[in-house]
Amino acid sequence: MKRFTHAFEGGRTLFRKDHNFLTHILAGCMAIILGFIYHISMIEWVFVMTAIALVLLAEAINTAIEYTVDLITDEYDIKAKHAKDIAAFSVLLASVFALIIGIIIFLPKLF
């Protein structure tokens, strides 16, 4: 269990630093609740859980990149800005993917 200490510390840091991570967790929980309410199929569960995991992973990596860039420079640097912006864009891409998956799976069930 000692091997996982650093990973758990990273999770605690992520929750403390990145409030968007909590927002994504709440959105993922809502999708899971909807999955139970609408009795989605096994393959739909695979897509929903993959989309949730992708968004959470992208957010975690984005936060790690932000910490790394902040460690390297305290001064404004266009390359640091680009690194942070591209990392943030990866979260946006994952979130749009998750939204599309959610629309494809849940919209027909709502009507």
As a whole number of Å, the CA-based R_g of the chain is 17
Rounded to an integer, what distance in angstroms lies between the CA atom of residue 78 and that of residue 7? 31
8 A C-beta contact, residue 110 and residue 78: no
Q: What angle do CA 30, 31, 32 make, to 5 degrees?
A: 90
Rounded to an integer, what distance in angstroms lies between the CA atom of residue 97 and that of residue 11? 24
- Three-class DSSP category at 74: coil
Would residue 44 show up in a list of annotated catalytic residues for this protein? Answer: no
Instruction: Spot the catalytic one: 9, 44, 59, 66.
Output: 59
76 backbone φψ class: left, alpha, beta (φ>0; ψ -120 to 50):
beta
Catalytic residue annotation: 59
